Amino acid sequence: MDEYRTEVDGWLAEWRIDHHRIRIMLVCNGSDSKPLASFTPASAPDLAQMRELFPNLSGLWDAIRHEYWAEVFPPPRPSRGRIRSVNDRRLRPVPIDPMSARIQALTVRARRAGYRLVRSSTSPYDWTLLDGEDCAPSYSAVELEKIEQWLNE
């Protein structure tokens, strides 16, 4: 399945189209690449759920929706006599960067251990493992490595 990237106001989202639904895989601050949220393909929320979870990122959600519709229903082909502009955009799949792959792998690992990995939306952007059943915090750390070490114990 192809993944897409959208960036607005310094926030970056990686998403995919899954049976005509927008699934958000990763949201991070584009300036420092610190993820706000990361999900496995199986647990990725749709766009409406992300709007509810992070309403302050409405500009990002609107841009994703716009790019989704441009991908699902591309603009009509140019007619004769019309020269297509260099600025005409089509979404292209992008490779997953190593940090995103690492976060997705750790999210899967945490889920298998009975936890949910989340990132705080405010500074210092702590990583937290929530209990899979009651969502109670089990462990928090600023660095992702500390979460990995804790899961190794």
Q: Hey, how many other C-beta atoms are within 10 angstroms of the C-beta on 89?
A: 9
Q: Is the pTM of this model over 0.75?
A: no
d(CA 91, CA 83): 20
- DSSP 8-state code for residue 43: T
Give the model's confidence band at 55: pLDDT under 50 very low, under 70 low, under 90 confident, else very high: very high
Please report, for the chain, the start and end positions of each structural domain, with discontinuous segments joined by +.
3-75+94-152
- For 27-31, 37-41, 54-58, 128-132, which range has the lowest pLDDT when averaged over its residues? 27-31
Among 1, 43, 52, smallest CA distance to 24 is for 43
pLDDT of residue 81: 55
Residue 98 neighbours by CB under 8 Å, 6+ apart: none
pLDDT higher for 21 or 73? 21
